[in-house]
Amino acid sequence: MPRLFLTRASQGKRIIFWTLFCAVISQPALSLYLDKRRLEVRDPLYGHRLNHLRRRLAESPHSPLFLILGSSRVKYSIRPAAMKIHYVENASQPIVYNFGINGMGTIRALMHFRRLLADGIRPKWLLVEIWPPLWAEAGFFRESRMVQGEDDQHWRDLLLLCRYFRNDRDVLRQALQKSFTPLRAYRDVLLALSMQSLLPPENLCEFQKRINDSLPADSGGWFPLPWESTTPQEDDFAHRDGEENIKPLLQSLHIDPRSDAALRELLQEWRRRDIQLALILLPEPSWTRSWYTPQTHTVVREYLIRLRRDYPVPIIDARTWVSDDDFSDSTHMRKKGVPAFSERLGRDVVQPMIKNQPFDAKILFPGVGQKLCEEH
């Protein structure tokens, strides 16, 4: 029989104390270490992009930052390198960076904005995507799903997650597990970084794919769309997919109070800091726009008017800027459409913001645009 050993009672007590102490302390300590030093281990998408952005900022330390936050629509559609911006003379040229992350609605935009601030990223300008289907917090795009699938909840996200997902036990359970037992939650990643031969090949492939998916294709943080449709069948499939996931949300749009609260919290954060902010509705193909019912239009319009009344923030309406041919599915742009759209965005939105000039009234959301234009 395996021989175990007995100790004196006092020694046993001390051993148990030290075991519990080391076991209990080591987990949050590892969690904190990963949050502070090795973000890319637990959250490759955020960590690698943050490292990439930091390297960009380190290359030109005096350049102010123009940050664009949003969902995969931002991630795959806005290419800062294609923007032709005439910068202010005798001033440091700003760095425009696309920080789009899949499925980022308002709660996750707030979460990522907070993370970026905590990681020392101080943008001077901020462009945030808003997209009505993400306001519903329902169906395929609900952020409780996204927050579990796309992000790895950080230690510092816990409070925010508790506030916004207090009724969603799965989110909280996962967040707590990842924060308090990171050794177990990230065991595959940790093994992949230290002893790859202990991992099954499929797990290793998945890890490497996730890393590859987290590295931007260019210096501005843009990613080319990886699932671009090329055949009529694929187009048809993409269209049906949109009809299944987006159309129902737009047909009877309701704005989830959590989504509204997060956007307002983000705007309050913006108010407290010296950041110039604009919200943007990104391009949609005509068939997606046709899914908005008159009631939905009213809901969106009234919501944005209310928002505009409470916070003097410009709301850009770019929904019609791109032709249908340039869309791969109901939401995402093809690679070929990206340069033209990015150029226009640079000219009509980024440049006025950098130069502190008013926007052209035509690009502002109808109904809230006139008043906004006058103010700007």
Partner 1 sequence: MLFCSISFMVFFAVLLCIYWALPWQRARVWLLIAASFYFYATWNKWLAVLLCISTFIDYLLALGIEKSQKNRRRKLLLYISLFANIGLLCYFKYTNFFLLSLDEMLIAAGASSWFRSLQVIVPVGISFYTFEAINYMVDVYRGNIRAERNFGNFLLFILFFPHLVSGPIVRARDFLPQIKRPKRFDWVRMHLGLQYFLMGLFKKLAIADRMALFADPVFDHALDYQTSAAWIAMFAYAMQVYCDFSGYTDMAIGTAHMLGYKLAENFNMPYLAANISEFWNRWHISLSSWLRDYIFIPLGGSRNGEWKTRRNLIITMTLCGLWHGAAWQFVGFGFLQAWLLIIHRAFHRWCKYKPTLDAALRSQLGTVFRITFTFVCFCLSLIVFRSSSFGHALEMYTRLLTAAPTALPTPVPELGFWLTVGIMLAGHLLGRSGIWIRPALRLPAPMLGFSYAVLFGLALLLEPQGAKPFIYFQF
Stretch that binds partner 1, among 22-30, 56-64, 210-218, 365-373 (CB under 8 A): 22-30
Amino acid at 336: K
> Is the Cα dihedral 18, 19, 23, 26 positive or negative?
positive
- Work out the number of other CB atoms within 10 angstroms of the CB of residue 329: 22
Residues 94-113 that bind partner 1 (CB under 8 A): none
Question: 179 in helix, strand or coil?
Answer: helix
Size (the chain), residues: 376
Q: Is 93 in the site for partner 1 (CB under 8 A)?
A: no
Q: Is 63 in the site for partner 1 (CB under 8 A)?
A: no
**Single residue of 149, 200, 226, 257 touching partner 1 by CB under 8 A:** 200
- Give the count of alpha carbons within 13 A of 210, CB side only: 21
Instruction: DSSP letter for 327, please.
Output: B
Is the Cβ–Cβ distance between 180 and 188 less than 8 Å?
A: no
Stretch that binds partner 1, among 78-86, 196-204, 322-330, 346-354 (CB under 8 A): 196-204
- Tokens 């009213």 correspond to 298
Question: Which pair of tokens denotes residue 95?
Answer: 């760095």
Minimal distance, residue 165 CB to partner 1, in Å: 20
Q: 280 — phi, psi (to 5°)?
A: -140, 135
Q: Is 10 in the site for partner 1 (CB under 8 A)?
A: yes
Cα separation of 349 and 359, whole Å?
Answer: 7
Minimal distance, residue 149 CB to partner 1, in Å: 16
Is the Cβ–Cβ distance between 203 and 188 less than 8 Å?
A: yes
* End-to-end Cα separation, the chain, in angstroms: 82
Minimal distance, residue 43 CB to partner 1, in Å: 18
Q: Is 209 in the site for partner 1 (CB under 8 A)?
A: no
Query: With respect to partner 1, which residue has the nearer C-beta, 177 or 356?
Result: 177
Q: Is 92 in the site for partner 1 (CB under 8 A)?
A: no
Minimal distance, residue 219 CB to partner 1, in Å: 35
Beta pairing class for 276-281 and 125-129 = parallel
Minimal distance, residue 29 CB to partner 1, in Å: 11
**Single residue of 85, 121, 199, 211 touching partner 1 by CB under 8 A:** 199
Cα separation of 48 and 19, whole Å?
Answer: 35
Q: Is 355 exposed, middle or buried (0-12, 13-18, 19+ CB in 10 A)?
A: exposed
**Single residue of 51, 56, 168, 188 touching partner 1 by CB under 8 A:** 188
- Work out the number of other CB atoms within 10 angstroms of the CB of residue 115: 21
Residues 271-330 that bind partner 1 (CB under 8 A): none
**Single residue of 184, 240, 254, 362 touching partner 1 by CB under 8 A:** 184
Cα separation of 158 and 174, whole Å?
Answer: 10
Query: With respect to partner 1, which residue has the nearer C-beta, 33 or 87?
Result: 33
**Single residue of 23, 29, 91, 193 touching partner 1 by CB under 8 A:** 23
Stretch that binds partner 1, among 17-25, 34-42, 54-62, 246-254 (CB under 8 A): 17-25
**Single residue of 2, 120, 149, 232 touching partner 1 by CB under 8 A:** 2
**Single residue of 91, 162, 198, 217 touching partner 1 by CB under 8 A:** 198
Stretch that binds partner 1, among 35-43, 177-185, 227-235, 253-261 (CB under 8 A): 177-185
Question: Which pair of tokens denotes residue 2?
Answer: 């395996």
Q: Is 29 in the site for partner 1 (CB under 8 A)?
A: no
Q: Is 9 in the site for partner 1 (CB under 8 A)?
A: yes
Q: Is 33 in the site for partner 1 (CB under 8 A)?
A: no
Question: 126 in helix, strand or coil?
Answer: strand
Q: Is 177 in the site for partner 1 (CB under 8 A)?
A: yes
Beta pairing class for 315-317 and 125-129 = unpaired
Q: How many chain residues touch partner 1 (CB under 8 A)?
A: 39
Which chain residues interact with partner 1 by CB under 8 A? Answer: 1-23, 26, 177, 181, 183-184, 187-188, 190-191, 196-201, 203
